[in-house]
Amino acid sequence: QTKTISGIISDQNGIPLEKATIKVKGGKASATSDANGSFKLAVPDGATTLEVSYVGMKPVTVSIEGKQSVLVTLNVTDSKLNEVVVIGYGTARRSDVSSAVSSIKAKDLKDLPVAGIDQALQGKVAGVSITNNSGQPGGGVSIRVRGITSVNGNEPLYVIDGVPILTNTTSTSQDQLGGKAGQTQQSVMATLNPADIASIDILKDASAQAIYGSLGANGVVLITTKRGRSGEGKFSYDVYHGWQNITKKLPVMNLRQYAEYYNSIVPEVRAAGGGLDTIGELKDPSVLGKGTDWQNEIYQTGKIDNHQLAFSGGQGKTVYYFSLNYFDQTGILLGSKFNRYAGRFSLDQQVKSWLKAGISTNLSRSNQRVTLADGVETPTAIVLYNSPATPVKGPNGQYITTTSLGSTTFGNSNSNPIATALLRNVKAIQSKAFGNIYTDVQFTKYLSLRNEVNYDFQLTENSAFQPYYVNEATNQVVLAPSRLREDRNTSFYWALRNYLTYNQSFGKHAINAVVGHEAQASHWDNKFVSVTNLTLNLQSSNAGTVDVSQTGGQKGDWSMESYFARATYTYDNRYSLSGSIRRDGSSSFGPNSRWGNFSAVSAGWTVTNEKFAQNWKIVDYLKFRVGAGSAGNQNSPVQNAYSTNIRLFSVAPFGAGGVPANVGNPNLSWEAVKTYNAGVDLSFIKKRIELSVDLYKKTTTNMILSTTLPVFVGLDPNPPNAAYKEIEPPVTNAGEMTNTGIDINLTTYNIQRSDFTWKTNIIFSRYRNELVKLNAPGALLRGAEQDFTGSASVVNITQAGRAVGTFYGYVTDGLFRNMSELNNGTNWGLAVGPQGIYLGDIRYKDLSGPDGKPDGKIGSEDVTFIGDPNPKFTYGITNSFTYKGFDFSFFLQGVQGSKIFNWTRKYTESLSSVYLNQSTKVMERYTSSNTGASIPRYNQWNNNNTRNSDRYIEDGSYLRIQNISIGYNFPAKWINKAKMSNARLYLSAQNIKTFTNYSGYDPEIGSFNKNVLSQNVDNGHYPNPRTITVGANIEF
Amino acid sequence: MKTINKYIAYGIIGVATLASCNKSFLDHPSENNPTLDTYYNTADQVLKATGYLYNSVWYDYQDKAFHAIGETLAGNMLTETGPNYGSGSYNLFTVLSTDPLVSSCWQSLYKVAGTATVLINTFEQKKGKATETNYLNQGIAEARFMRGAAYFTIARTFGDVPIVTDPVALAGSGNYSVPRYFQKDVLQFALEDFRFAEQNLPAVPAEKGRVCKYSAAGMMAKLYLYRKDYDSAKIYAQRVISSGNYDLYPDYAQMFTSSKANNNVESLFALQWIAAGGYSYANPIQVYAAPSTLLKPVVGTGYSSVYPTLDMLKAYDANDQRRQWSVMEHGFKRTDWTNINFPSGFVYDTTGTAYEDATHFRNGTRSNSLKYVVGTGSNGEALSSNGSSDICTYILRYADVLLIYAEAVLGNSASTADASALTAFNKVHNRNHNFSDVPVTSLTKAIILHERRVEFAFEGDSWFDIQRQGFAYAKSVINAQERGTLNGDGTVNHAAANLNSESQLFLPIPQSETVSDPKLLEPAVAYY
Amino acid sequence: KDTGMDNPSANKLSPEKGSGGDVLTLTGSDLAGVTSIVFETDSVRCLFNPTLNTENAVIFRVPDTASGGQQNIIFKNSKGKQWLVPFNVIAVANITNAFPLDFQAGSTITLTGINLESVSKVMLDGTTDVATIVSKEKKKLVLKMPSTTANTCKLVITNSSGTMTTTQVFTYITNAYGIFTDAFPTGMDDWSWSLTNSTSSSNIIAGTSSLQAAYNGDWGGMQLHWGTAIDLTPYKYVTFYIKGADVDKKMKFNFNWTNDQTLTIPANVWTYYKIDLGIFKNNGVSALNTFVMQINESPKTLYFDDILLVK
Ligand SMILES: [Ca+2]
Ligand SMILES: [Ca+2]
């Protein structure tokens, strides 16, 4: 005889749980809850207890004695082992996963006042290094999954609810307005509201990535956004307000110090036979003030405001979620801003018992104002060497550039950094709509089909404007000419995806299989116009003269078609085996090599589920994982590189025509990445300690490389670089790079009492990058940096046998301190003498010569590798505490063993022009009366002392108190009166203190425009700010 | 129920697969441009491609290296001492292999050669497929002229250098090491290109401003002179003179300050600039050479980064009007050049006390070169946004051919009174009644070299005239020059160059190149 | 809050006297926020660099245009407070322009420049001859010239601050050979073509008349011829004034048809030309036979005066 028990299963928030398993204890009867969390189960009369379980939740037992119905609440388990992992085209339980996948939940990223989720992940995921490339609001962030995969793009594939985000966010290069370009690569994630994110899963090894085939090799970041849950509607409001400031200022001279410096240089120059006069105003430094503190002028207190409204809920067969977000940030550097309006909507409907359908839409509009930074003539750099004697504005209240003391001119004649920062208006406005529509068809209990259409529409409106500005009193030209550049780029992406999922357990066997097909295509269209001499400085392309050479358009499209399959077999929760295969066809390659295959296998053995382990005392869980697989990259630096394209030009002396744009390579194909991964997951002492360790070796072959030829070949020597309109050399598949590393994730639950908990999470990542070979012996890739005045010099070199982007320069050997050192027979490259090479100048080591041996001469052959910008390891330590209503977290993040090329010192310690302001350190330079100095003498006659050398290489290691936050949850009895279900107040501080020996603003430099070939070069860098935030989360 | 579901579902899959099964789904040739297969099938397409070689490919050489090498090394101009010009290293002969202009000169000239080479090879391939090949041959000849001009300049600037004739093959080879070849072989290589051009280009250019048979003959004469092959130099100079197609332009000053004189009767080969094209298309010389008082209120430039030396100013004979035709000095006035500060005409005023203010300008020699300075645009000259212009840069003009002829006739003699040589020489010397039409009656090497210095001052070629006389001569001339500047009170802050090694006659190969091709550090080898 | 400008108090100005361009340092307290510095005599405003102004000091330079003599310097700050500091400006005369550049006994010369109001004496350099001061203002000085023995001279000007010598050189017409002063000399024939020469009394530099040259054909020429050539040995320069037509004109000028010079004659104004005779002498012209002024293209009327051969 049986009786029927019914009930509803929900989570701790009351949200019904679908597909929870309900079993009779000691019996065979079982049932699964439906979308409303309800179930019906026929149980034997004698049954007294039900066991209810759900993936990622702590199982519970419920007494049914004398009951017809039960309400069961399940709580999310803290244990990572039970969490659901998104693995691409499906999900899996963590315990079934045998590849390297890292997951992070929204709650671990809360309280961080960041524009984009990419920034929030810093230091949180083992094997994933995240660097802010700029302190610019909305600025670029580099994410590297397990080291440097390629010398090409290294950014992972972002997939948001199944929609791959395939566009970059790029602002207009500021050299359009004259001067330097600045960083143009901005954060693509900043257009997405981080508060809508529920969880993030990162596929780190090829056995996981292979399912994404030719797009997955740099890692795949799968972002799952929040969706509604059935139950009473909820309404939440999150708000925070933050203040930002610069963490430190560099010690450059004030006016008084500068006057002393100037006065001390006069006799030095005269002694060397040069002419330099004293200046009346500077003769008595004691009456001078501090002059203009240019750093004070350009850095301000930044502000952040964020408001988020979210509504969610559902009834019966319908659930919904929608949110609105407003984010507004003013940067610490004058003129830099970012704001975003975002809305998100999702609806899921159980149409039939066997058919579910849903839609989600994200709308956002972000508006970024970019201040010119990163480069020698950018405001960030000029403030360091501009004269403290020059005022920001003249007596008439208008900006000036230079000022004269007697007949000597001070200041930067070509720009006033404050005017440049404030008057230039460089904006990147992105309007974006993306989302998907899906149906899920449940054919049988075990077989379902998902059909999905994705779309991504983007309108990018970039502009760069500068007014004509003349100081009316002095007629000094501060900014000229007036100029406006406007770019409009529209792109439309769609994907159509169908896949079958088969999921069945029988006895001890469990099978999960996916097979599917995907087609995707994108079209983009760009138009740009430049106008100069704008009437009344009107910011309109109607108001000036069109610059024909900078006006035009381009368009393009691409498509991909793919077939994929994955199967996972698990036996008795002890052994699991998984395999996947994907076949991709891409329009990026020619007909010869359009299709590529990617496959992977991985296996897991859960030792603790073996009989012999049943009685292990200490170890609760032990699992070994091994995997191998291949994934690809199809980022070609040149479009349609498989054919020789003709570049059409409109401006030429004898009229419009065409010249070869590139040398085609019809066989161009994928870049291939193979990863071998071995991991262990451990949990011991009653799950107090959880440890995951992964070892990997990642080998990239067939890198898509532009052939880098010597300049004298006459093709583009620095490909890909369309800017100079050189003929691009062929793009080939060549080279090999390896990354070997270890990722460790350790979580300890130190205290777990009902009123007090303390949890510690430690992340450790280490990799060693080695470029094994490039496309030719001796081939190299250069990372150039613009010199004091704009000509590029090589700083980073990427060459076989070294890490990517290794620094390159002369090796210093102290200073010349007596004449015999100068006259020891070595040819120092310049004649010995006061205006040549002389006492107090830097001595470089003669390391080589034309035949590879020291030749008694300082020259090109003596340049060598002088430092590796890649860190030895990175780490993050998070401690979280809860005490009654309070929560507290403390997050440290660090980088060890990286080197920085402190280019900034090339001007603050240049000692090459008496009119430039300098670091206060130059007071201790070498002089005839300070011959023990370590800083070289003043030398305005040649650039011996400012050659690229290890003089500028500094240790970039740091340990940063990245975040401290404290929050308070108001007790339910208080807030219920206000009909609130939850209310939390918090205070958070970011980038609080950095322990480092680095002498610049900030050891977190990153890569210029995300390019791994030029990383950790500090040249007028926009430093990361310190942020203090107060915020509240309120839920009704 | 389930059967129906399946049909629906399979239906969806079917539609999806059909949509993408279309064969052309993955075909996306560029929507922006043709490809090699579909192009260079008409004479016009080839002609427009070679037209490209007269302009932006030369830019990085033209903007700064042109003066720093051709004029500053020669002692005709000083450069600013900022790092833009290698910290003034050209002033004092202390140029390093990391020097920015060493790089930009090398890169630009090899870009000219490389682009020309790609076009030559592309047209050669097209010849195999085309029925009518004459236009392709013309294109090859014009491109070879340009390549010759590039290698001629490279060989004179750097000495022993690599030669590349098939960049595509080199790129495919995987081994990019190329040795340096003896300078004489590089000159021979350039000569072969000119010779091909001389034999295949038309006698009259296809369009005004393009090179023709006589442009090539003139370049050959110049190259022969460099090799001291006076007989050949004379033959080819004579060939140009006898053509009757060329003459001197009567107004020397206008020739260098107005784009209206572009491609005039004196011009055999000139770079063609386009102000409307903006940066890298327009002639930037006045941006760097003009004083700020002229250009700064208009376009923000006029850097006076290069300006005449005191030695150069002294070199003009008292009666030589080319001084005022070539140099702005105090009191210089152009009523047709106006700007906000000079509404009734620009005046070059050096009486200020500071380096510059809105209306006064006082550089180290109180002078600026006038050549290729076209003013503020107020007289109708087109300017780009930074003040670059349309004016063509003369690489070979008829005056050069005449003086080459005179020098070739003189040959190794101490002096000559040969009538044809004197006629050629005096045509230049007495242009526009200069020296009151008083002719020179006997020629020596010194007279000819002096004439060349003042005639071609600031045109980027002077250093090669000194260099080709050899080290001893160069040393004696260079080290004796006044390369100093005037102090505030008008006294001279003396400076002199130190040319003490024969290697200083050539610039070092850029360090970035020797890094990627260490063979460049090895001794040169023979090409032929 | 102390703004550093509530109670300005000047302690010391150093130095206490000086001339245009000298650096002055005023020290004291509450001196911040200076918005204007004015030298009291004639209210001469001083442009200064605000970065050189602190609570305890103001550093500035004596303006080149400051008037000489003991006076106050008036400081004002952004709160409207004002204070005075005494200072003695040493301001010798400075002549930027002189007209005309030649003279006879009794003719007048107008000098323009600065610091001319206190001029007490004007002497002809190298002589003891003194000019009579007709009128003096800060920027203008009118002189009546004496007779002298000099052929040319500079002027030595003394004012309350000191003595200076002009850079301008003046020609004593009486000691020069006049090709035209108020009339053509005897022994000269007017061989001009496409040109009518006459005298004018309305456009003159000196004396009673100028030479009105009405060119009436393209490439018209003034050709003045001497049957007996004038030996150029004693003469160093040829000088003359030309008043331009309504547009700029080019003029070809030579002696004896040798070594053509091109002059640009600005429109509507008198322009002074001083040409070194070396350019003719070095080309074999030792004596003047023919004086040529040939107009460039379309004809216009121009005026000449004081065409002189100067020793
Ligand atoms: Ca060496
Ligand atoms: Ca008279």
Higher pLDDT, C280 or B459: B459
How far apart (Å, rounded) are the C-alpha atoms in residues B403 and B431?
Answer: 13
pLDDT value at B46 more than 80: yes
Helical segments of B27-130, H only: 43-51, 59-60, 66-67, 89-92, 100-127
Judge: C23–A283 Cβ closer than 8 Å, yes or no.
yes
Q: How confident is the model at residue B366 (pLDDT cuts 50, 70, 90)?
A: very high
ipTM of the complex as predicted: 0.70
Report percent pLDDT > 70 for chain B. 95
Backbone angles phi, psi at B203, to 5 degrees: -70, -30
Q: Which ligand is nearest to the CA of A849?
A: 1
Q: Which of A782, A798, A803, A785 is nearest to A901 (CA)?
A: A785
The CA-based angle A13-A161-A626, given to 5 degrees, is 95
Give the single-character DSSP code of C148: -
From A462-471, A663-672, B165-174, the region with the lowest mean pLDDT: B165-174
Note whether B384 and B275 are within 8 A (CB).
yes
Q: Which helix (H) or strand (E) holds A509?
A: strand A509-532
Q: By three-state DSSP, how is residue C39 classified?
A: strand
Note whether A745 and A762 are within 8 A (CB).
yes
Cα B479 from chain centre? 26
Q: Which amino acid is at A972?
A: A
- A209-268 residues touching C, CB cutoff 8 A: 255
Interchain contact A403–C (C-beta under 8 A): yes
Interchain contact A825–B (C-beta under 8 A): no
State the burial class of residue B4 (Cβ atoms within 10 Å of its Cβ: 0-12, 13-18, 19+).
exposed
Note whether A747 and A735 are within 8 A (CB).
no
Q: Which ligand is nearest to the CA of A847?
A: 1
The CA-based angle B263-B267-B269, given to 5 degrees, is 95
A-chain residues near B513 (CB < 8 A): 710-712
Backbone angles phi, psi at A394, to 5 degrees: -80, 175
Identify how many contiguous H helices and E strands chain B contains and give both numbers: 22, 12
Compare CB distances from B436 to C248, C264, C283 and report the shortest one's residue.
C283
Report percent pLDDT > 70 for chain C. 99
ω into residue C100 within 30 of 0, thus cis? yes
Q: Scanning every residue of chain C, which has its alpha carbon at the shortest distance from the alpha carbon of A396?
A: C35
Backbone angles phi, psi at A94, to 5 degrees: -50, -40
How far apart (Å, rounded) are the C-alpha atoms in residues A344 and A362?
Answer: 4
Q: Which amino acid is at B49?
A: A
State the burial class of residue A832 (Cβ atoms within 10 Å of its Cβ: 0-12, 13-18, 19+).
middle
Backbone angles phi, psi at A294, to 5 degrees: -65, -30
Q: By three-state DSSP, how is residue C169 classified?
A: coil
From A446-460, A524-538, B317-331, the region with the lowest mean pLDDT: B317-331
Q: Which ligand is nearest to the CA of C303?
A: 2
pLDDT by residue (tens digit) across C151-164?
A: 999 999 999 888 99
Give the single-character DSSP code of A1: -
Interchain contact B489–A (C-beta under 8 A): no
Interchain contact C57–A (C-beta under 8 A): yes
DSSP annotation string for B285-297: HHHHHS-HHHHHH
Mean pLDDT, residues B451-476: 96
Q: How confident is the model at residue B322 (pLDDT cuts 50, 70, 90)?
A: very high
Question: Which pairing describes strands A552-571 and A575-586: parallel, antiparallel, or unpaired?
Answer: antiparallel
Q: Which ligand is nearest to the CA of C181?
A: 2
From A553-557, B248-252, C259-263, the region with the lowest mean pLDDT: C259-263
Note whether A899 and A1016 are within 8 A (CB).
yes
CA C170–ligand 2 middle distance (angstroms):
16
Q: Which of B4, B12, B25, B32 best probes binding to A when mutated, by most A CB atoms within 10 angstroms?
A: B32
Q: How confident is the model at residue C61 (pLDDT cuts 50, 70, 90)?
A: very high
Q: How confident is the model at residue B1 (pLDDT cuts 50, 70, 90)?
A: very low
Q: Which helix (H) or strand (E) holds A579?
A: strand A575-586
Report percent pLDDT > 90 for chain A. 52
Note whether B249 and B266 are within 8 A (CB).
yes
Interchain contact C30–A (C-beta under 8 A): no
Give the single-character DSSP code of C235: -
pLDDT value at A91 more than 90: no
Interchain contact A281–C (C-beta under 8 A): yes
How far apart (Å, rounded) are the C-alpha atoms in residues A381 and A295?
Answer: 10
> Average model confidence (pLDDT) for chain A?
89
DSSP annotation string for A7-23: EEEEETTS-B-TT-EEE
User: 3-state SS of chain B: helix, strand, coil percent to 5?
Assistant: 55, 10, 40
Q: How confident is the model at residue A787 (pLDDT cuts 50, 70, 90)?
A: low
Backbone angles phi, psi at A926, to 5 degrees: -70, 130
pLDDT value at A724 more than 70: no
Q: How many CB atoms lie within 10 A of CB C75?
A: 24
- Scan for tokens 């302190």, then name that residue: A135
pLDDT value at A786 more than 90: no
Interchain contact A506–B (C-beta under 8 A): no
Q: B213-226 vs B183-200: helix axis angle to the nearest 10? A: 160
Give the single-character DSSP code of B322: H
Give the single-character DSSP code of B449: H
CA A718–ligand 1 middle distance (angstroms):
26
Residues counted in chain A = 1036
pLDDT of residue A231: 75
CA C207–ligand 2 middle distance (angstroms):
4
B-chain residues near A942 (CB < 8 A): 87, 89, 94
Show me where the domains of chain B are located: 14-227
Instruction: State the nearest Cα–Cα gap between C118 and chain A, in angstroms.
Output: 27
Flag whether the pTM goes above 0.80: no
CA C180–ligand 2 middle distance (angstroms):
7
- Scan for tokens 């401003």, then name that residue: B209
Judge: C258–B433 Cβ closer than 8 Å, yes or no.
no
Note whether A665 and A734 are within 8 A (CB).
no
Q: How confident is the model at residue A843 (pLDDT cuts 50, 70, 90)?
A: very high
Structure tokens at C176: 């020069």
C-chain residues near B335 (CB < 8 A): 248, 266
pLDDT of residue B5: 54
The CA-based angle A438-A443-A446, given to 5 degrees, is 105
Judge: A288–C56 Cβ closer than 8 Å, yes or no.
no
How far apart (Å, rounded) are the C-alpha atoms in residues A178 and A184?
Answer: 15
Note whether C98 and C87 are within 8 A (CB).
no
Note whether A117 and A194 are within 8 A (CB).
yes
Q: How confident is the model at residue A82 (pLDDT cuts 50, 70, 90)?
A: low
Backbone angles phi, psi at B437, to 5 degrees: 65, 15
CA C197–ligand 2 middle distance (angstroms):
14
Note whether A632 and A672 are within 8 A (CB).
yes
Q: Which helix (H) or strand (E) holds B455?
A: helix B445-455
Compare CB distances from A441 to B5, B106, B299 and report the shortest one's residue.
B5
pLDDT of residue A178: 80
Q: Which amino acid is at A506?
A: F
> Average model confidence (pLDDT) for chain B?
90
pLDDT value at A139 more than 50: yes
Compare CB distances from A451 to B12, B82, B110 and report the shortest one's residue.
B12
Note whether B215 and B201 are within 8 A (CB).
yes
Report percent pLDDT > 90 for chain C. 47
Mean pLDDT, residues C216-227: 81
Q: Which of B141, B144, B145, B153 is nearest to B109 (CA)?
A: B153
Identify how many contiguous H helices and E strands chain C contains and give both numbers: 1, 30
Which residues are placed with Cβ below 5 angstroms of ligand 1, an ion?
A 846, 849, 855, 857, 861-862
Q: Which of A57, A93, A61, A59 is nearest to A76 (CA)?
A: A57
Q: How confident is the model at residue A34 (pLDDT cuts 50, 70, 90)?
A: confident
Q: Scanning every residue of chain A, which has its alpha carbon at the shortest distance from the alpha carbon of C52?
A: A288
pLDDT value at B9 more than 80: no
ω into residue C234 within 30 of 0, thus cis? no
pLDDT of residue A78: 54
Compare CB distances from A860 to B277, B386, B511 and report the shortest one's residue.
B511
From A15-29, B172-186, B280-294, B378-392, the region with the lowest mean pLDDT: A15-29
Q: Which of A654, A775, A866 best probes binding to B when mutated, by most B CB atoms within 10 angstroms?
A: A654
CA C178–ligand 2 middle distance (angstroms):
10
Instruction: State the nearest Cα–Cα gap between A379 and chain C, in angstroms.
Output: 20
A-chain residues near B284 (CB < 8 A): none
- What are the b/e assignments for A919-940, b being 16+ CB within 10 Å? bebbeebbbeeeeebebbbbbb
What are A759's strand-pairing partners? A749, A880
Note whether B332 and B351 are within 8 A (CB).
no
Compare CB distances from A287 to C22, C47, C57 and report the shortest one's residue.
C57
Q: Which of A145, A60, A43 is nearest to A1012 (CA)?
A: A145
Q: Scanning every residue of chain A, which has its alpha carbon at the shortest distance from the alpha carbon of B111?
A: A714
How far apart (Å, rounded) are the C-alpha atoms in residues A2 and A284?
Answer: 105
CATH number for the domain formed by residue range(s) B14-227: 1.25.40.390
Q: Which residues contact A502 (CB under 8 A, 6 or more apart)?
A: A446, A447, A511, A512, A513, A514
Q: How confident is the model at residue C20 (pLDDT cuts 50, 70, 90)?
A: confident
pLDDT by residue (tens digit) across A627-637?
A: 999 999 887 77
pLDDT by residue (tens digit) across A993-1028?
A: 999 999 999 999 988 888 888 889 999 899 999 999
Judge: C61–A406 Cβ closer than 8 Å, yes or no.
yes
Q: Subunits that touch chain B (at least 3 Cβ pairs < 8 angstroms)? A: A, C
Q: How confident is the model at residue A77 (pLDDT cuts 50, 70, 90)?
A: low
DSSP annotation string for C98-115: EE-SEE-TT-EEEEEEES
pLDDT of residue A140: 87
Interchain contact C279–A (C-beta under 8 A): no
Q: By three-state DSSP, how is residue A69 classified?
A: strand
